[in-house]
Amino acid sequence: MSAAEEVVTEGQAVEAVPKRAMTLGTGTSLAVLVLLLAVPLFAKNFVVFQMTMLLIYGVAVLALNILTGGSGQFSLGQSAFYAIGAYCAAILIEQYNVNYALTIPIAGVLCFAVGFLFGQPALRLSGIYLALATFALAVAMPQLLKLNFLEPWTGGVQGQVVDKPDAPFGLPIGQDTWLYYFTLVITVAIYILSVNLLRSRSGRAMMSIRDNEIAASAMGVNVALYKTLAFGVSAGITGVAGALGAIAVQFVAPDSYTYALAIQLFLGMVVGGVGWLPGSFIGAAFIIFVPNIAESVSKGLSGAVFGVLLFLVIFLVPHGARQIAIASQQLAARFKR
């Protein structure tokens, strides 16, 4: 230890999650899917809308999870990519009469490109410095959307109204229900793609960078490429979520996409369990429903109630919902024996 004062033993920012522990079992996944399919049959329209938002936020949290849980990079700027996706969809639908279903892949590709480019300078930064850089992006985005010369497209401060699509082929279901199923299909597709991505060679490369960057590069992993790729993929998926969100809420405005949204997505990831993909949706449920619960407990102190509930969650399960899943799996295994 001759150079002791120069050695800083730094804690791992993101704990290592083996890739097999990143998903649910097939049986559980199918059960959850059946449950999600059945929701509109017995729920009111407003609940269906809330479930749609849950799926959308779930996708956005999932995107952050790929970035942070997968490649170990931290971002507080996801709201910016969400905003780009939302505005892309809104502008294409309202001003160029593009079919709403087509706007979603376009938003995804656009955000992938933006994220990939943003990932280039972000390569130089890590940890808290990367957090600040992405946070700067999140702070800047609403201001940029308000710029005067963009107003013909963005609608400026007032934002823009987006039409809600009808069910196609004369299906006898309401707009909300159709949108729910539409979102569900995209969510499932993105979920499967993400799981496969993390199981693939690229996913393993990202995880090796997360666990030990130097060892990864010694093994021949192109660190710069996979780090920026993770940024791009994460931004692309967030963009898809943003586009879906714009269609579901039927409205885009700069102030819906402040850094508060990025912080919410971050909380969703922590509550769901960093690096555990199904947890993204549990985290999304937390950030959608818990503020409502807090509001109903006490109007004046809703923020405090929310904070206390959040503290309770992280005290009981510091590793998020993943910890519950692992514990119940071990319990089930013990009963089998």
Partner 1 sequence: MELFINQIVSGISTGAIYACIGLAIVMIYQAIDHLNFAQGEMATFSTFISWQLMQWGMPYWWAFVITIAFSFVGGIALERVLFRPLAKAPILTNVAGFIALFSIINSCSGLIWDFTIKQFPTPFGDAPFLGSQLISTHQAGMIGVTVLMLIGLYLFFTYTRIGLAMRAAAALPESARLVGINTSWMIALGWGMAAGIGSIAGILIAPVVFLEPNMMLGVLVYGFAAAVLGGLTSPLGAVVGGFLVGIVENLCGTYIPGAGNELKLPIALALIVCVLIVKPAGLLGRPIIKRV
Q: Which positions lie near partner 1, rule CB under 8 A?
A: 3-11, 13-15, 68, 74, 121, 124-126, 128-129, 131-133, 135-136, 139-140, 143-144, 146, 148, 212, 214-215, 263, 266-267, 269-271, 274, 300-308, 310-311, 314-315, 318-320
CA 248 from centre of chain: 16
Alpha-carbon span 306 to 254, nearest angstrom = 25
CB 324 → partner 1: shortest distance, Å?
Answer: 14
Which residues have CB under 8 Å from 201's CB, separation 6+? none
Alpha-carbon span 12 to 212, nearest angstrom = 10
For partner 1, the closer CB: 40 or 254? 254
At residue 102, the 3 state secondary structure works out as: helix
Give the residue from 73, 274, 21, 176 showing the smallest Cα distance to 282: 274
CB 220 → partner 1: shortest distance, Å?
Answer: 17
For partner 1, the closer CB: 219 or 304? 304
For partner 1, the closer CB: 82 or 286? 286
For partner 1, the closer CB: 5 or 331? 5
CB 135 → partner 1: shortest distance, Å?
Answer: 8
For partner 1, the closer CB: 227 or 319? 319
For partner 1, the closer CB: 28 or 212? 212
Percentages of the chain per state (helix, strand, coil), in multiples of 5? 80, 0, 20
Give the residue from 73, 298, 168 showing the smallest Cα distance to 306: 298
175, HSE (Cβ side, Cα atoms, 13 Å): 9
> What one-character-per-residue DSSP string does 232-262 give?
HHHHHHHHHHHHHHHHHHTEE-GGGGSHHHH
- Under a CB-based contact definition with an 8 Å cutoff, are residues 277 and 19 in contact? no
For partner 1, the closer CB: 3 or 41? 3
CB 132 → partner 1: shortest distance, Å?
Answer: 5
CB 238 → partner 1: shortest distance, Å?
Answer: 18
CB 136 → partner 1: shortest distance, Å?
Answer: 4
239: amino acid identity, one letter: G
CB 121 → partner 1: shortest distance, Å?
Answer: 5
Alpha-carbon span 268 to 57, nearest angstrom = 9
